[in-house]
Amino acid sequence: MTQPFASQPTTAQPAAIHPQPTLAASALAIPRSGIRDIFDRVERVPDAISFAVGEPGETAAPHIVEAGCRAIMDGDTHYTNVLGTEAFREAAAGYTRRIKGLDYDPSCEIQAIDGATIGLYLALKAVIDPGDEVLIPSPYFTSYDAEVMLCGGAIRTVPLRPEHGMRLNARDIEAAIGPRTRAIILNSPGNPTGAVTPMDELERIGEVCARHGIWAISDEVYHPFVFGDEDLHGPDCIGSTAPSIAAAPGMRGRTIVVESLSKTFAMTGWRIGYLLAPHAVIEQTSKIAELMHSSVNSVAMAAGVAALNGPMDHVIAMKHHYALNRRIILDELARCPVLSPITPEGAFYVFVDVRATGLDDVTFCHRLLGEEKVAAVPGSAFGAAGAGFVRLSYAGPIEPTREGARRMRRFAERIA
């Protein structure tokens, strides 16, 4: 009698060979950040002094943290308007009016974003089509070129010249404009250079943008950190701030300002910022953002309201701290004949010419970390124009900053 579930003899068949699915060529073409390479190496060097991290050494002020915690306890943890909560947009509008002297309508000209990087992407996506060109002054922050590529755009670099203090220059910008140029990304105070472009030059750049019908996308995340006036008064006075091209004649309607609370308020992990732009731009950026993330983190916005509306004591303290660290590094490196720093006017970076040491910037950084346990970022990580330079971030504690600068000088003198 045949068993109902008895196994039947089978004939072995060769395993089918299926093709492996491939990765997108567009994704493979996106460059990896050169800063990440340094981060990976630093993790393998115990007790290293790092000048590589571009974030405040502090954390957010207590009143900001308390506002975030209160939002959680009150159940303020739901979806919000894709533009951001009304309270956050009102706070951003008030801060912009007080600090930058610019008026934006919080109902339609301000949008909350998950930090400046996504804001730059949204701005680019709203104003360029595949094949359009974007001007990027070089050296530049490492995500600028990748974000243009993600949007299908083409990159044209504009040299930032040491003889100009690495500031933006209208004549160089106009010389780089081509028939398909649609936008320029501006960054002042600049990363990696610390350069601050004065208002009169921004006005000339604005004239160039107007004449050629191109958008200015202005990354202003370091705006409060401008040095030279450390005589600050009162909890709401942060002294001089970097001028915005949006304040140049005729440029408010041609500019997208990208702002973040990460640097100003030491809120890097909160991932919160905002766009300031004409209504027509915000209509597009908000539509795209909704498809990407539905809405911005409600708790981060509650904390952001406290930051933007609250006292500036914490910001002033960071500004004083960076000014002191800046002076420590410049004084130490000035004693070394083969290191030539470009004096930074803002942010918390110094760009140092190391070519007189006889090493290229990548080799210099690798040996500096290996031999002196000091981490710096090769300038070539910020585009070809950065080759021969290294970037130092001086946002950390004072004594490690002093010791790191000493070690860097000692290393440079030894190898030269």
Name all domains of the chain by residue range, CATH numbers in brackets.
29-58+314-415 (3.90.1150.10), 62-310 (3.40.640.10)
Q: Please, what is the average pLDDT of the chain?
A: 93
Q: Is the dihedral of CA 354, 355, 359, 363 positive or negative?
A: positive
Q: Residue 181 to residues 148, 177, 251, 252: CA-CA distances in angstroms?
A: 12, 6, 17, 19
Give one word for 347, left, alpha or beta, with left for phi > 0 and alpha for psi -120 to 50.
left
β partners of residue 187: 219
Residue 12 has a pLDDT of 65
Q: Are 275 and 257 in contact (CB under 8 A)?
A: yes
Confidence band of 36 (pLDDT split at 50, 70, 90): confident
Q: Is 93 exposed, middle or buried (0-12, 13-18, 19+ CB in 10 A)?
A: buried
Q: Residue 330 to residues 324, 336, 342, 346: CA-CA distances in angstroms?
A: 10, 10, 9, 13
Mean pLDDT lowest for which of 162-166, 257-261, 406-410? 162-166
Residue 388 has a pLDDT of 98
Confidence band of 128 (pLDDT split at 50, 70, 90): very high
Does the pLDDT value for residue 232 go beyond 50?
no
Residue 252 has a pLDDT of 98
Residue 9 has a pLDDT of 57
Confidence band of 7 (pLDDT split at 50, 70, 90): low
Residues 6+ apart with CB under 8 A from 330: 341, 343, 350
Q: Residue 175 CB: number of other CB atoms within 10 A?
A: 11
Residue 240 has a pLDDT of 85
Mean pLDDT lowest for which of 3-12, 73-82, 115-124, 314-323? 3-12
* Total-model pTM: 0.92
Residue 235 has a pLDDT of 43
Which of 5-14, 17-26, 108-117 has the highest average model confidence (pLDDT)? 108-117
| Tens of pLDDT, residues 313-334 | 999 999 999 999 999 999 999 9
Confidence band of 233 (pLDDT split at 50, 70, 90): very low
Confidence band of 239 (pLDDT split at 50, 70, 90): confident
Mean pLDDT lowest for which of 80-84, 194-198, 228-232, 298-302? 228-232
Characterize 354-364 residue by residue with b for buried, 16 or more Cβ atoms within 10 angstroms of its Cβ, and e for exposed.
beebebbbbeb
Q: Are 246 and 217 in contact (CB under 8 A)?
A: no
Does the pLDDT value for residue 412 go beyond 60?
yes
| Tens of pLDDT, residues 280-299 | 999 999 999 999 999 999 99
Q: Which of 221, 248, 222, 223 lies closest to 113 in space, CA to CA?
A: 221
β partners of residue 391: 351, 377
Does the pLDDT value for residue 2 go beyond 60?
no
Confidence band of 234 (pLDDT split at 50, 70, 90): very low
β partners of residue 135: 156, 184
Beta strand extents in 33-153 (DSSP E only):
49-50, 110-113, 133-138
Average pLDDT of span 358-367:
97
